[in-house]
Amino acid sequence: MVRRDAKEEKWNAGTHFFGMILAFAGLVWMGLLVRESWPSVPALACVVYASLLVLMYMMSTLSHSFAEENKLRRFRALDQASIFLLITGTYTPLSVHFWNTFAANSLLLIMWAISISGFVAKVFFSHRVNRVSVIGFVALGWMPIVGLPFHEHWPVQAMLWVLVGGIVYSLGTIFLLNDQKAKWCHPAWHLSVIAASAIHFGAVVKFVAMEL
């Protein structure tokens, strides 16, 4: 199991604890925004997405909060597993709100199948816990690009917000890939996650939750 400097780990835990607090506040806000249209599918998708954001930050915080081997490994697996769910969870509110075609729904189902499979592999089989599948996460995150021919119903601004958030996430993986080579790369990765997830959260709020 890869271990990092204790001071750096405090920053790793602290940055995503801060992210968790923001995400929890966002979940409450999201619930208030969609309460009048509950339990429509887009409203449910918004709340599920915001809940998964809280889960991801919580698991990330815990994965950097323990030194004991078993706990460290367990929470690291949950951390990586929650990323699979968040990637598709982020895309879901926008998809169900703007698309209602067989092709779009099929793409969404495929993404959820991959995410759930990744979650199960990490949690129950500890698959590659010590070696994060960055390429797999990035590929899943950019998978909606396959649906570009069906994006005519998306507002251009919504597409731009999602695109910018995806770029920030992708650029942040440079820090993640080098966190064993250079100090403080992992906290930098965490900050890029906060920035990217804030952009995507803004997109879901502005173009879905506030429109319900």
Give the residue ranges of the annotated binding site for Zn(2+): 64, 186, 190
Q: What angle do CA 14, 206, 91 make, to 5 degrees?
A: 70
Q: Structure tokens of 133? A: 């599948």
DSSP string for residues in 60-81: HHHHTT--SHHHHHHHHHHHHH
Rounded to whole angstroms, the Cα distance separating 124 from 145 reads 30
Residues in binding site: 64, 186, 190
Neighbours of 62 (CB within 10 A): 20
